[in-house]
Amino acid sequence: MQTNKQYLLFLFVVIVGGFCVLAQEGKVTPLNIEAQKDSITAPLFPSAIIRDSSATDSLAVDSLNQKPPLLLDKITYKAKDYVKLSQQENKIYLYNEAEIYYQDTELKAGIIIMDYIKNEVYAGRMKDSLGNYSQLPYFKQGSNIVIPDSIRFNFDTQKALIWNSRTEQQAAAGQLGSDAMKVYAEITKKENDSVYFLSEAKLTTSKDTIDPDYYIRVRKAKFVPKKKVIAGFSNLYIADVPTPIAMPFAYFPLSVGRSAGILMPSFGNNPNTGYFLQDMGYYVPLGDYADVTLSGDFYTNGSYAFRTASIYTKRYKYRGNVNLRYENQVRSQKGFSDYSLSKNYNIQFSHSQDPKSSPNSRFSASVNLGSTNYYQNSLQQRNLPLTQNNNLSSSISYSKTFPAYPSVNMSLTATHSQNTSPQARENPELKNISMTLPTFQASMERIYPFVKRDGIKKGIIQNINFQYDVNAQNRLTTNDDDFLTGRMFEGAKVGARHRIPISTNFKVAKFFSVSVGGNYEDVWTLETYNKRFDATTSKIVTDTLKGFDRYNKYNFSTSIGTTLYGTFDFGEDKKIQAIRHTMRPSISYGYAPSFDQFYDEYLDGNGNVVQFSRFQGTLNGAPSLGKSNSVGFSLANTLEAKVRDKDSTKIEPKKVPLLSNFNISTGYNFESDSLRLNPLSINGGTNILNNKMSINFSAGLDPYAIDNNGRRIDTWNVDNGGSLFRLTRANMNVSYSISSDMFGKKEDDEKEEEEDPFDYVAQSGGRDDDLFGKADSFSDNPIQDKDTNEDVENPIYGTKIPWNFRLAYSASYLNSARQNEFSSHSLMFSGDIELAPRWKIGGSSGYDFKNNGFTLTQLRFQRDLKSFSMRFNWTPFGQYKRWYFFIGISSSILKDLKWENRSQPIRN
């Protein structure tokens, strides 16, 4: 009898162990569902067995038909109300909170019944007196979990029937939640270890599986966990309402990690380009560390565009991306006067290296170059902020450090700067592109020859130090037509500059800091220029002299400065307890001789002697002609206050900056015959209102008057009937940001910063804020559900409505020649208001006071529909007048289920 029990228990455990195959291809998680009525009839307890817990069958079991026991571990089982082995029915019954444990297998359910003759096991729920079901089956083996309504499994055929199964398939390794595909089926048939057949299934990415926002109803389907779902007729349901979006058959990839696939295009019509397909492409993963996206646009008028985007990353090593874009733009039709054909391109490349991967060497890159008109005339003008960008810049550098004393740092850099202002776009012949290919720099650490390396440096002798550095460049300038062709290297300038600065510093009378130094430079070039007057043509002829040439120059400088403090005490009982004024006056002197030996002469057509240097026009220019002998004055100021803290528990007052800096500087030239005093330069800045407002200003004040032609004359402005100083220029920039968080309770713990959606714009040379608007690429950055607490579904907002506001004011005044005009004068602002947790509106605009018109204006509307995201951007007027609408599923698995529509910008 004991042998029979062991055999039956072993057979039950082996059958239960077969359930692990239901989850071996994908993690199946409990989904917090409500119990529903069973779709099968569970085996019932015989009434005799329920009345009596003892065995009623006295017939011996045939020992010839018994199988040898193969139990490997001890099996543990229990139930709250009932545990019974029935030899008459060849079944084991566990009732109410039934549990069985064997090795790494765990099974819990309201009722568990095993038929060891048919080799079938059943686990189901319990039904109370009110007809409600509870205690759903819970099967776990290792980390795999199954929680259906009921399960029936046959050990001989390895097949199973599962009622009301719910599984959650990962979209990528370690990525669950809203990006996971939930698969629900009324009946699931397990054919083998990796193939399941579903009947009346629902597929969704909604978090709420009881009442999902949407689901795809599938009548019949083949399900391969973590790989795919192949379905028959399927259609989309939204809020349990069927939609006309249907397919006779469907394929849903469920691969873990990245997999290749087609990118669904957008359809539309444009009066300028005709009907189009946009963003049609293909995604290809390249190993474990990189991928590439190939996409394109096609228009019926002949225009087309191709794009590639690749991202690569390796943890603790490096990360970067490469974007290539090309557009062939056709306007109008051949034969018409407004027909045009243009080709635009844009290249972006960024690479960053983890400093820990190689402490003594580093490679970095930030490239953004292309056609001057690319962002303004792109066929897909989604990046609205970049249309206001007037500069493209790039830098690729490699640096190497040799740490042995004296350490040497070397770097090789290629740079690019491109002017994309309206003037450059309207004048193709303008050389608006500057490049260095490459720049070589090397520097040696500072050496103190009169003191040990780790010794204390005191006095004028021990503080004597010198360095060495070299800078060599190949610089060229070109335009759009010659860029990336052999003509771009015409007129390139090559040169190098070696520099050895020597300096020392010491104290005088305790309070005065004195520094003395000199600088020696040796400049090399590979070509020079000779000038002569040609009497035949009556023109000055410049001859280029190929070959190595050099010159040297040197200078001397010294400065003395100190720091003064002034404190005004108002008393500790006052709100403002004290104000401290810090002043740092300094006087500097500089001297450089005249380098006449590097200058030559020629006679012009009038017989006048003209001096020139053969180094004029070279990379580093020519040495100065004429002695330099000048003194400079500067005064730096800071102003801060001690304010009693509003928190009465704090003893120490807090420091509030009133003026972060306020600097005044001028100079006097001893060698000048007139106009010896330099204009007075003033600049300053401060942050107020808890650093929410930033103010910066600068101005120029000239003590000399000007004549009727706007030229400075050797006459004091006050003697010419004016004021002591003449305002020649002024500039002010004010920025201010405020949000509802300032008026709420401060959080003790800092929140993790979210990824800034404007990082891409900033890296491309644009602004890092939304004062010029936000990009329209909604499908690439869908709204993500940030609310993890379902209690915020219907919040009471009242006066607690989240909002933010940003303002920027800029004004530049010019009056150097009595222009008395503002060269620029504008006010920009932007903000967002979250009317509800999932409903946000915002906008950005500004006003140009100089041109009397509004700047780039954008209105934004955003609605998060849990599983869906909906956005609408509108630029109501101006050169880039347009609108853009998008609605689609937020999850990346079904992001192709979307609808977007846009207008086209007005082109000048």
Does pTM top 0.85 for this prediction? no
In a 10 Å sphere around its CB, with 0-12 CB exposed, 13-18 middle and 19+ buried, how is residue 672 labelled? middle
pLDDT at residue 705 in the model: 92
Q: Are 112 and 100 in contact (CB under 8 A)?
A: yes
pLDDT at residue 69 in the model: 41
At 602, which helix (H) or strand (E)? strand 600-603
User: Chain-centre distance of CA 882, in angstroms?
Assistant: 26
The angle formed by the CA atoms of residues 16, 22 and 23, to the nearest 5 degrees, is 110
- Is pLDDT above 90 for 402? yes
Q: Which residues contact 397 (CB under 8 A, 6 or more apart)?
A: 363, 364, 365, 411, 412, 413, 414
- In tens, the pLDDT along 705-748 reads 998 888 899 899 999 888 999 999 999 999 999 888 877 655 44
DSSP code, position 209:
S
811 or 571, higher pLDDT: 811
Q: Which residue has the tokens 């890159």?
A: 365
**CA atoms 241, 246, 249, 254: torsion sign:** negative
User: Chain-centre distance of CA 293, in angstroms?
Assistant: 18
588 or 433, higher pLDDT: 588
Maximum mean pLDDT: which of 303-312, 554-563, 781-790: 554-563
**Whole-angstrom Cα distance, residue 148 to residue 169?**
15
The angle formed by the CA atoms of residues 699, 700 and 705, to the nearest 5 degrees, is 145
395-409, 512-526, 737-751: the lowest-pLDDT one: 737-751
User: Roughly how many angstroms between the first and final C-alpha of the chain, as a whole number?
Assistant: 96
For residue 42, name the pLDDT band (cuts at 50, 70, 90): very low
pLDDT at residue 51 in the model: 39
pLDDT at residue 548 in the model: 95
- In tens, the pLDDT along 832-883 reads 998 888 889 999 999 999 989 998 898 999 888 888 888 898 888 887 788 8
At 877, which helix (H) or strand (E)? none
Q: Which residue has the tokens 């394929």?
A: 251
740 to 91, 475, 562: CA distances (angstroms): 67, 50, 45
26 or 200, higher pLDDT: 200
* Helices and strands, number each (H, E), in the chain: 6, 52
- Is pLDDT above 90 for 674? no
For residue 21, name the pLDDT band (cuts at 50, 70, 90): very low
Q: Are 201 and 215 in contact (CB under 8 A)?
A: no
Q: Spell out where 562-653 has E strands.
A: 564-569, 576-592, 600-603, 609-612, 628-643
The candidate with the shortest Cα–Cα distance to 26, out of 229, 261, 256, is 256
451 to 359, 508, 635: CA distances (angstroms): 29, 21, 34
For residue 463, name the pLDDT band (cuts at 50, 70, 90): very high
pLDDT at residue 370 in the model: 85
Q: Which residues contact 490 (CB under 8 A, 6 or more apart)?
A: 482
Phi, psi of 254, rounded to the nearest 5 degrees? -125, 30
Amino acid at site 342? S
For residue 800, name the pLDDT band (cuts at 50, 70, 90): confident
Average pLDDT over residues 406-424: 88
- Is pLDDT above 80 for 488? yes
For residue 782, name the pLDDT band (cuts at 50, 70, 90): very low
**Whole-angstrom Cα distance, residue 321 to residue 289?**
11
pLDDT at residue 28 in the model: 36
- In tens, the pLDDT along 81-90 reads 888 888 888 8
106 or 113, higher pLDDT: 113
pLDDT at residue 493 in the model: 93
pLDDT at residue 179 in the model: 64
**Whole-angstrom Cα distance, residue 674 to residue 665?**
20
The candidate with the shortest Cα–Cα distance to 436, out of 351, 494, 486, is 494
pLDDT at residue 638 in the model: 95
User: The tokens of 1 are what?
Assistant: 């009898």
**Whole-angstrom Cα distance, residue 120 to residue 190?**
14
Phi, psi of 386, rounded to the nearest 5 degrees? -75, -15
52-61, 634-643, 842-851: the lowest-pLDDT one: 52-61
pLDDT at residue 770 in the model: 67
At 741, which helix (H) or strand (E)? none
24 or 641, higher pLDDT: 641
- Is pLDDT above 50 for 71? no
100 or 189, higher pLDDT: 189
The angle formed by the CA atoms of residues 791, 797 and 803, to the nearest 5 degrees, is 110
Dmax of the chain from CA atoms? Answer: 140
Taking residue 707's Cβ as centre, other Cβ atoms within 10 Å add up to 11
Q: Which residues contact 888 (CB under 8 A, 6 or more apart)?
A: 778, 779, 782, 868, 869, 895, 897, 898, 899, 900
The candidate with the shortest Cα–Cα distance to 293, out of 306, 278, 277, 276, is 306
**Whole-angstrom Cα distance, residue 144 to residue 9?**
22
Taking residue 541's Cβ as centre, other Cβ atoms within 10 Å add up to 12
- Is pLDDT above 50 for 2? no
pLDDT at residue 58 in the model: 36
Q: What would the DSSP string read from start to end of 691-725? A: TTEEEEEEEEEESEEE-TTS-EEEEETTTTTS-SS
3-class DSSP assignment, residue 50: helix
Amino acid at site 531? K
306-320, 370-384, 391-405, 788-802: the lowest-pLDDT one: 788-802
Q: What would the DSSP string read from start to end of 414-439? A: EEEEEE-SHHHHH-TTS--EEEEEEE
At 407, which helix (H) or strand (E)? none
Maximum mean pLDDT: which of 155-159, 693-697, 753-757: 693-697
**Whole-angstrom Cα distance, residue 28 to residue 37?**
22
pLDDT at residue 13 in the model: 38
Per-chain mean pLDDT for the chain = 80
pLDDT at residue 774 in the model: 65
**Strand 576-592 to strand 600-603: parallel, antiparallel, or no bridges (unpaired)?**
unpaired
For residue 143, name the pLDDT band (cuts at 50, 70, 90): low
In terms of C-beta distances under 8 Å and separation of at least 24 residues, what long-range contacts does 61-70 make, across chains too? 61/4, 61/87, 66/3, 66/4, 66/7, 67/7, 67/11, 68/7, 69/3, 69/6, 69/7, 69/10, 70/10, 70/14
39-43, 322-326, 375-379: the lowest-pLDDT one: 39-43
- Is pLDDT above 80 for 113? yes
% of the chain exceeding 70 in pLDDT: 81
Q: Are 208 and 189 in contact (CB under 8 A)?
A: no
Partners of 636 in the β-ladder: 584, 663
CA torsion 599→603→609→615, rounded to 10°? -20
Average pLDDT over residues 238-260: 80
Q: Are 662 and 697 in contact (CB under 8 A)?
A: no
pLDDT at residue 16 in the model: 35
pLDDT at residue 83 in the model: 82
The candidate with the shortest Cα–Cα distance to 783, out of 178, 361, 266, 185, is 178
Partners of 877 in the β-ladder: none
For residue 750, name the pLDDT band (cuts at 50, 70, 90): very low
pLDDT at residue 144 in the model: 57
138 or 26, higher pLDDT: 138
Q: Which residue has the tokens 């399927």?
A: 234
The angle formed by the CA atoms of residues 742, 744 and 748, to the nearest 5 degrees, is 95
The candidate with the shortest Cα–Cα distance to 612, out of 532, 685, 667, 692, is 532
SS3 content of the chain, % helix, strand, coil (to 5): 10, 55, 40
3-class DSSP assignment, residue 749: coil
For residue 599, name the pLDDT band (cuts at 50, 70, 90): very high
Partners of 706 in the β-ladder: 712
496-505, 793-802, 828-837: the lowest-pLDDT one: 793-802
**Whole-angstrom Cα distance, residue 55 to residue 60?**
12
For residue 381, name the pLDDT band (cuts at 50, 70, 90): low
Q: Spell out where 422-563 has E strands.
A: 433-447, 465-478, 493-508, 512-534, 539-561
In a 10 Å sphere around its CB, with 0-12 CB exposed, 13-18 middle and 19+ buried, how is residue 853 labelled? exposed
